[in-house]
Amino acid sequence: MPSELPASALYSSPALGRLWKKVHQACSPFLHRPAVRRLYQRPTSVLRKTLAGPYSLIALGCAEGTKEALLLQGMPKPAFLLTADTNLSLARRAARHLPARKKAFRNIDLSRPFPAFQFPTATARIFTLFGVLPNLEPVPLLRRIARLMKSDDWLLFSANLAPGKSGFAGARKVLSQYNNLPTRRWLEASVRRYRPKLPPGGLEFGVHPDPREKTLARIEARWIAHPKTWIIFSSRRPTMAQVESWIRIAHLKKTARFLEPRGEEGLWLVGPAPSRSPPSHPD
Ligand SMILES: C[S@@+](CC[C@H](N)C(=O)[O-])C[C@H]1O[C@@H](n2cnc3c(N)ncnc32)[C@H](O)[C@@H]1O
């Protein structure tokens, strides 16, 4: 099995941050396709119908909160907003820009059991989780969130999908969104900066099985330096059916699904499953 670089290696200097931003500006479907941006406004009609009174918004892994801002355009102002990200300055910026009666921001590591800090409990809560599942283990994370949820809470999460029924064929269709010049420049700069130094080699993009879920397609950029290989970057691309199996395994219940027209990105609105059995997993 090839060694995997930590995701932080891709953002470990201001120069790498700038190269990532160029990738985002050149390749992000959210920036280039209005249909993808509209996706984040579509859940509002269902949410408005189901929320009986004041609510709190808890934005997990929110970065600057751009997608939450689109969602909130069609919603009454939340009574309370909590923005939470591993990058505290991003969480602070999101809290500053998003509308709410009361606000807080936190540092959170979504890859670990949640700390004991209090999520607000007085109102119904909408948890958002956008753009996070490609890079964090999906089922343990969805389970952790499911355990927090009261019966009147919602989770709205996004998934970058492999369009169609076959995950591997679908992921190959979107490979050019990764295998391009700006992405190569960013990843090659990350390899040059990484310590201990990697040997001379070349970058190869491909679709591989996720090591934890063999039927799940993962786009990977690998550094090939014979005889060794390193995984520099990876992004899960589940099918819709795979996302819905994660929902069931995590003891959640689907209320609505929204897809952008090419089927490359989807949003799921889920609540806690009515008959949750006691957790059997330590996460
Ligand atoms: C791909 S960005 C998505 C940002 C934003 N939600 C969006 O969709 O545009 C992933 C975000 O998750 C945050 N993140 C990555 N790993 C995390 C972790 N372990 N815990 C909390 N946040 C994390 C990053 O700082 C970043 O803001």
Q: Given CA atoms 143, 147, 152, 156 in this order, what sign does their dihedral have? A: negative
Minimum CA distance residue for ligand 1 atom 3:
131
**Separation of 42 CA from ligand 1 center, angstroms?**
22
Ligand 1 cavity residues, CB under 6 Å: 61-63, 66-67, 85-87, 90, 108-111, 130-132, 136
DSSP the chain: --EE--GGGGSSSHHHHHHHHHHHHHH-HHHH-HHHHHHTTTTHHHHHHH--S-EEEEEET-TT-HHHHHHHHTSPPPSEEEEEESSHHHHHHHHHHS--SEEEEEE--TTSPPPSPPPP-SSEEEEEE-S-TTTS-HHHHHHHHHHH--TT-EEEEEEE--SSS-HHHHHHHTGGGTSSHHHHHHHHHHHHH-SSPPPS-EEEEEEEEETTEEEEEEEEEEEEETTEEEEEEEEEE--HHHHHHHHHHTTEEEEEEEE-TTSSEEEEEEEE-SSPPPP-S--
ω into 227 cis (within 30 of 0): yes
Tens of pLDDT along the chain (283 residues) come to 899 998 778 888 889 888 988 999 999 999 999 999 999 999 999 999 999 899 999 999 998 899 999 999 999 999 999 999 888 888 999 999 999 999 999 989 898 888 766 677 889 999 999 999 998 899 999 999 999 999 999 999 999 999 998 999 999 999 999 999 999 999 999 999 999 999 999 999 999 999 999 999 999 999 999 999 999 999 999 999 999 999 999 999 999 999 999 999 999 999 999 875 554 444 4
**Separation of 283 CA from ligand 1 center, angstroms?**
19
Q: Are 157 and 270 in contact (CB under 8 A)?
A: yes
Domains of the chain plus CATH, in order, are 3-27+166-237 (no CATH), 30-163+239-271 (3.40.50.150)
**Separation of 84 CA from ligand 1 center, angstroms?**
9
Q: Which atom of ligand 1 is nearest to the CA of 111?
A: 19
**Separation of 273 CA from ligand 1 center, angstroms?**
26
**Separation of 200 CA from ligand 1 center, angstroms?**
31
Choosing from 28, 60, 62, 132 the residue with most ligand 1 atoms within 8 A of its CB, the one to mutate for a pocket test is 132
CA geometry: angle 165, 243, 180, nearest 5 deg: 70
Minimum CA distance residue for ligand 1 atom 8:
131
